[in-house]
Amino acid sequence: MVIIMKPGTSRECIEALAHEMEVQGLKVGITNGVGCSILGLVGDTTHLNADDLLLHEGVERVMRVQEPYKKANRKFHPDDTVVDVAGVPVGGKHFTVIAGPCSVENESQITEVARAVQESGARLLRGGAFKPRTSPYSFQGMGIEGLELLLKAKKATGLPIVTEIMSPRYCEIFESCVDLVQIGARNMQNFDLLKEVGKMSKPVLLKRGLSSTYEEWIMSAEYIMSEGNENVILCERGIRTFETYTRNTLDVAAIPSLRRMTHLPIIVDPSHSGGAAWLVEPLTLAAVAAGADGIIVEVHNDPAHALCDGKQCLTPGEFGALMEKAQGLARFMGKDV
Ligand code: PEP
Ligand code: MN
């Protein structure tokens, strides 16, 4: 980090700031230029807030030369991380597909969809039991009963299960039965939840917040990792923009950008990105071409009667056709499918 002092700042003032930084364990080099001085801070500055430093007497500008995230940073971990989800690899050379309904609705629905998506090559089963709905009057998910039905579908197919956690009070039960713990877009900055999930031993699927920057998203991963859980998978699921024709706007550039910034796997959710079944295929192919490590897709055996997000759900048949194209392109991109 570099601190540029205002011209004419007294020597005592500069030395006092340098001393304050040294007390915090940093090495400080002072360069006196023509008219102004510069302090170069060497060491771990992750705890320093640039805006707070601006409040110090004589400080003109503060510049970070390193990112505020460490554990997720590719600079300190050049190799891709491959997250093991109950034996299914996500990241690196692998292209992994997660599929299933938006919400678990009943035993035959979840089991039927699980069998169908497995047949087409999905390796993990998704299904919401706790649903973060915009309206309190909409279907809120089956809760614990939904988890039990997911376990039945897992027993029937062997597919590990992915489902969203909305409150730290469910960490214990998720720890005991969920294979990949999803943090939804709306909870990406629920820091208490992130910290608790960071203490779990199960891998985490961290969706991007509706209006979060890449750095904010990685900092949320850093919250989980800093508590000891380094098995984090990032998921781009579309962001809020001025466009309303689509539900969200898929940020394709997030995939190569995050690839540079972090070693964590990056998958894409084409269902919530576009909000329409007809958009799932083109968005999936764009994601695969941009180097995504996998996709998470909503599939329902009867989309017209789905209790949540029917408009964007694929039928099992449509999902099968999507898989053929997506896997073909993933192979072309050098991935193992
Ligand atoms: C979901 O995957 O069911 C979901 C609610 O997604 P998001 O948090 O991305 O809106
Ligand atoms: Mn959904």
pLDDT confidence of 36, banded at 50, 70, 90?
Answer: confident
Instruction: Choose the residue to mutate in 237, 267, 299 for probing ligand 1, maximizing ligand atoms within 8 Å of C-beta.
Output: 237
Instruction: Choose the residue to mutate in 161, 189, 207, 235 for probing ligand 1, maximizing ligand atoms within 8 Å of C-beta.
Output: 207
Whether the predicted pLDDT of 53 surpasses 90: yes
Q: What is the pLDDT of residues 218-228, one digit of tens each?
A: 999 999 999 99
pLDDT confidence of 109, banded at 50, 70, 90?
Answer: very high
From the CA of 184, give the closest atom in ligand 1. Answer: 8
From the CA of 186, give the closest atom in ligand 1. Answer: 8
CA of 247 to the centre of ligand 1 (A): 12
Q: Which residue in the block uniquely carries the two structure tokens 């039927």?
A: 112
Whether the predicted pLDDT of 256 surpasses 90: yes
Contact (CB, 8 A) for 299 and 289:
no
Q: Ligand 1 atom 4: the closest Cα is on which residue?
A: 184
CA of 272 to the centre of ligand 2 (A): 6
Q: According to the model, what pLDDT value does residue 46 have?
A: 87
DSSP string, 115-167: HHHHHTT--EEE-BSS---SSTTS----THHHHHHHHHHHHHH---EEEE---
State how beta strands 88-90 and 161-164 pair. Answer: unpaired
Q: Ligand 1 atom 9: the closest Cα is on which residue?
A: 185
pLDDT confidence of 96, banded at 50, 70, 90?
Answer: very high
3-state secondary structure at position 61? strand
Tell me the two tokens of residue 157. Answer: 């197919």
State how beta strands 37-42 and 27-32 pair. Answer: antiparallel
Contact (CB, 8 A) for 93 and 335:
yes
> For 106-119, what is the mean pLDDT?
98
Question: What is the pTM for the complete model shown?
Answer: 0.92
> What does the DSSP 8-state code read for residue 94?
B
Tell me the two tokens of residue 245. Answer: 């024709």
pLDDT confidence of 269, banded at 50, 70, 90?
Answer: very high
CA of 324 to the centre of ligand 2 (A): 23
Q: What is the pLDDT of residues 133-145, one digit of tens each?
A: 999 999 999 999 9
3-state secondary structure at position 63? strand
